[in-house]
Homo-oligomer: A and B are copies of this chain.
């Protein structure tokens, strides 16, 4: 690192005034934190954050996470001034339709936005994932990497449970390349934190195994000392508690809750600028300040060049390791890789969770980026990458491919997102499907960011048995399908399971969720010559019948049930065709002609052990939907099947009666 640069007042005030002006122009936004944290953050960016705005996707760059996402103008100003592709016009379009400077930072809108934040606490867990991604990249490849993750959080982030979970795990792991900066201004929307939040945060983080440094957020020398200690920490992650004043610099509103989420008003803006001796025209940046930032950018570029020289030397000296490094980033799979995942899967019996475990092993061999983890259910989820080792630190280096998350589902979800956003990793995380509710905010953010996180849920229906309704998903299949851009797969048996994993590895453009059974499912009699790629359509005709009276459409464990019921119906002269629909989401993306052909023109029955809610939109509201719209029960599998009417005779009888009613009704017309 070059010598410490003392940041002059004008660049700091420029950031403050840009936030003031942009929020005022939009008449919406949050000026308080950008103003309060400008000096601290600019000191960090100037002296410690490793980036190159000409090469914003530098793989070993430091990651800056703005967990306090409502302070988006702080980040936009920094990106603009440090030469990222964020123009003054972008700044002026803050919070306007179609602009890249949204109310909260949106991943993909601008380079330099490392993750979408806004829902509080999420950024802290994302940062744990990003830092872990950096540490594992270094440990797995041996490359000369220095990537550090810096996360800026506020009182709200600290109060959210996800921040506790993520911090507890980071402390346990000794994730020393992570620094969390807590901008402690003691103000939230409802007023002073005295009202709600009086814990000792320093002690809390020490309890979790962190180093803690308290510092005045306007003392640059002290800040730099803290940042240096955090960067150089070898054992622990570091919390820097930076005391600040919300709305710092405003004429009359410093330290008030009003500055948190309101435009300060033309009068206050004018008074503030007058007090500072600032030009009154909005969005002012002086030539001197431009030149100052330009000089900093040049220093950053120089540091980058030095890194690049060292890295290239390593690549030449270690070609095999460099190849492994590149493979992690490319995540390329050989053409037809899925054929290595299929053999024997259609013949293998067991639960789909167990079959999924087999598919994971096959995929892990071909995709070194695949990294696993579970919230204390590794053996139950069959999510372990065998021989992958446990993620942890030994001799200062992180190794392993299986993360033991503990019982921390929410943090697990957002750490997984952080790992996915890092870029070198394809992370999966596993728990019971019931606990998808605990991590729903993370899943939604993955979908919003199109992060390629994999959510591996097992125990996918009431048929998990004796654990009862607190553990039995009912509405979860449908409620996951409702999240825009999330793809849910619920395979029926081994071949569908393998192909769903293969689709996830090669076709998915966003997050994927799986629904696997706890209970055993039988193998299915695929027709000779069945092309497994049909599964990638999301739904397909499993068993055609030219003379069919109806289509039975089913997912997951209910495909075998539909087949059994169809045999009973056949004995009564009712002929069925069977449609398997392992992914309602993917099926919905097929063209209408295909969907109509698969569903068939005859009456349709949908069977799924979950809420019926969405099925009318898939098979039509004239169809019979056999589902479960009530909570489950604690009992043996067979008793649950009987209770909810999910035995083959019960299903066959329901279908027969319904069809008879339909026939009678149309005869009466």
Partner-B contacts on A (CB < 8 A):
26, 28-29, 69-70, 95-99, 102-104, 106, 116-120, 155-156, 159-165, 168-169, 171-172, 188-190, 193, 195-204, 206-209, 374, 376-380, 390, 404-411, 434-435, 437-438, 440-441, 444-445, 447-448, 465-471, 474-475, 478-479, 481-485, 611-617, 620-622, 629-631, 633-636, 639-640, 643
Contact = CB atoms under 8 A, between A and B. Distances in A.
B448 A469 contact: yes
A664 to B, nearest CB: 18
B407 A120 contact: yes
A224 to B, nearest CB: 28
B475 A483 contact: yes
B168 A199 contact: yes
B611 A466 contact: no
A483 B190 CA distance: 30
Nearest to A408: B159
Contacts of A639: 96-97
Given A189-B380, A612-B617, 14 more contacts: A102-B469, A104-B468, A119-B470, A160-B409, A160-B438, A161-B163, A161-B165, A171-B199, A203-B207, A448-B470, A484-B629, A484-B630, A617-B617, A617-B621
Contacts of A208: 199-200, 204
Given A407-B188, A437-B444, A613-B617, A104 B635 contact: no
B188 A156 contact: no
A112 to B, nearest CB: 17
Contacts of A643: 97
A95 B199 contact: no
Contacts of A155: 407
A432 to B, nearest CB: 10
A437 to B, nearest CB: 4
A375 to B, nearest CB: 9
Nearest to A435: B119
17 contacts: A103-B634, A104-B468, A118-B467, A118-B468, A160-B408, A164-B164, A168-B197, A188-B376, A189-B380, A193-B406, A196-B406, A200-B206, A437-B440, A437-B444, A475-B479, A616-B616, A616-B620
Contacts of A380: 189
B197 A406 contact: yes
A629 B49 CA distance: 39
A189 B377 contact: yes
A171 B159 CA distance: 13
Pick the most buried of A199, A404, A444, A469: most chain B CB atoms within 10 A of its CB: A199
A70 B161 CA distance: 22
Contact of A104 (B116, B161, B470): B470
A93 to B, nearest CB: 10
Contacts of A29: 466
A203 B466 CA distance: 37
A172 to B, nearest CB: 5
Contacts of A409: 160
A207 B167 CA distance: 15
A617 B441 CA distance: 27
A214 to B, nearest CB: 14
Nearest to A479: B479
A664 B448 CA distance: 39
A613 to B, nearest CB: 5
A444 B436 CA distance: 12
Contact of A614 (B98, B161, B614): B614
A286 to B, nearest CB: 29
A201 to B, nearest CB: 7
Nearest to A195: B404
A639 to B, nearest CB: 4
Nearest to A445: B470
B631 A119 contact: no
A98 B471 contact: no
Contact of A190 (B378, B408, B612, B614): B378
